[in-house]
Amino acid sequence: VQLVESGGGLVQPGESLRLSCLASGFSVPTYATAWFRQAPGKEREYVAGFSRTGGYTYYADSVKGRFTISRDNAKNTVTLQMNSLKPEDTAVYFCAAGSGVITSSLRNGAAYPYWGQGTQVTVSS
């Protein structure tokens, strides 16, 4: 299993970025997949994700209404569209996946066995 994130960068407040997570070694619709982020000096934070069947999607309150997670089964990718970015969104963003993640553990990073290397998102004027 391999996860490769891309799309990070430096943007100004109010701008948008689109992160992609390319999965290999498994089929995206069969795993729970999620985006987490970690800012310097802070704990890892759940951002958004899908349950294994895709029937449940959860967004952290801090990104609700601004971020949208989607997945493309044909391309085996999970995408995070980030709009109206704020300086507090600055972090390294990680893609995570797991086949046995139950719904009640979707926001728990420890429940995911597979992680990407991360991509830096910096929001600054």
Given this model, what pLDDT does residue 38 score?
A: 98
pLDDT digits (tens, 9 = 90+) for 28-37: 999 999 999 9
How many helices and strands in the chain, by DSSP H and E? 0, 11
Parallel, antiparallel, or unpaired: how do β-strands 45-50 and 114-115 relate?
Answer: unpaired
CB 101 within 8 A of CB 27: no
| Residue 54: DSSP 8-state | S
- Model confidence at 124: pLDDT above 90: yes
Q: 70-92 as b/e, with b when 16 or more CB fall inside 10 Å?
A: ebeeeebbbbbbbeebeeebbbb
pLDDT digits (tens, 9 = 90+) for 55-92: 788 999 999 999 999 999 999 999 999 999 999 999 99
